[in-house]
Amino acid sequence: MLNSYSSVDKVLLAVDCIIFGFDNEGLKILLIKRGFEPEMGKWSLIGGFLKKEEKLDSAAIRILDTYTGLHNVYMEQLHTYSEIDRDPVERTISVAYYALINIENHNQELIKNYDAQWFSVTDVPKLIFDHDSMLRHAIRRLRYRTSTKPVGFELLPEKFTMLQLQKLYEAILSKELDKRNFISKINSMDILIKLEEKDMQSSRKGSFLYTFDKDKYDEKSLNDFVLNL
C-alpha cells in the first residue's frame, strides 16, 4: 500500500516564472543570464525554490518581486514539469507560472544587477532545461486567456490608446486585426472608460486615452465574458 507518509521520497520544488511585458514594439519576456553551474552563462527563465512555509503562489510572487520589484501582479499557475533529467544536477520538479506586468513599472536597476534582460517573444534565445517548452506553453495559455478574461490591461499603463490596445492583442495573438472590428468589439464589452485626455505623442490630431473600468467588469457575471478576435 501507498498509504503511509513515512518512507516516501521528498523532492526539490522549483518555481519558474514566465514574465511578460509589452512596450508598443511587441510582447517581451524577461530572461536572466544564469550565474552558476550548470549551464552558467545561458539564458533562463527567472526562478527559485519553494520554501518550507510557503505556498506556490506565494513563492511565485516572492520571486517576481525579487527580480522586478513588483507586487500585485497578474499571475497564473501554468503546469508542473517533472521529467527525470530536466535538471541534470539534481532531481527537481518545477512549477511554472506566468506573470503579466506593466513594463514601465519594473525596477530597471534590479534587473541589471541580476543580469536579466527583456527579449522579444519572437526572438528568444535557446533557453536552458525545458524552459523553451514552458514559454511555448505560457504563450498558448495567454492566447486562450485573452478570450476569457480582460488580461490585456495588465500589460498596459493605466492610460492607453485604442491603438496600443490593438497592437498588444496583435502581439499576443500574433495576427493582424482590423481596426474597425477591433474597436467595435472592445466597445461592445463596455469595460473601458474614455478619458477627456488625449495622447499627443503619436499624431497631430492626438488620440483619446482610455482606462480599464475594473468595477464595471467585476459587476458583470464572469461567465459571459467572451472575446473572439
Partner DNA sequence: TCAAAAGTGTTCACCGTACACCCATGG
Partner DNA sequence: CCATGGGTGTACGGTGAACACTTTTGA
Q: Which residues bind its own copies (CB under 8 A)?
A: 1-5, 8-13, 35-36, 48-57, 63, 66, 77, 79-80, 82-84, 89-91, 93, 95
Length of the chain: 229
Report the residue number, 110 or 183, with the smaller CB distance to DNA: 183
Q: Which residues contact 170 (CB under 8 A, 6 or more apart)?
A: 176, 177
Pick what 161 binds: DNA, its own copies, none; C-beta below 5 to 8 Å, kind-dependent. DNA
Q: Are 210 and 226 in contact (CB under 8 A)?
A: no
Pick what 83 binds: its own copies, DNA, none; C-beta below 5 to 8 Å, kind-dependent. its own copies
Per-residue cell: 77: 499557475
Pick what 162 binds: its own copies, DNA, none; C-beta below 5 to 8 Å, kind-dependent. DNA
Q: Which residues contact 127 (CB under 8 A, 6 or more apart)?
A: 31, 42, 43, 44, 45, 135
- Rounded to a whole number of angstroms, the minimum distance from the CB of residue 189 to DNA is 10
SS3 167: helix
SS3 63: helix
Report the residue number, 3 or 221, with the smaller CB distance to its own copies: 3
Report the residue number, 146 or 161, with the smaller CB distance to its own copies: 146
- Rounded to a whole number of angstroms, the minimum distance from the CB of residue 100 to DNA is 23
Report the residue number, 40 or 195, with the smaller CB distance to DNA: 195
- Rounded to a whole number of angstroms, the minimum distance from the CB of residue 17 to its own copies is 12
- Rounded to a whole number of angstroms, the minimum distance from the CB of residue 156 to its own copies is 27
* Dist. CA 113–CA 115, nearest whole Å: 5
- Beta pairing class for 116-120 and 160-161: unpaired
Report the residue number, 79 or 198, with the smaller CB distance to DNA: 198
Per-residue cell: 90: 539534481
Query: What is the identity of the amino acid at 37?
Result: E
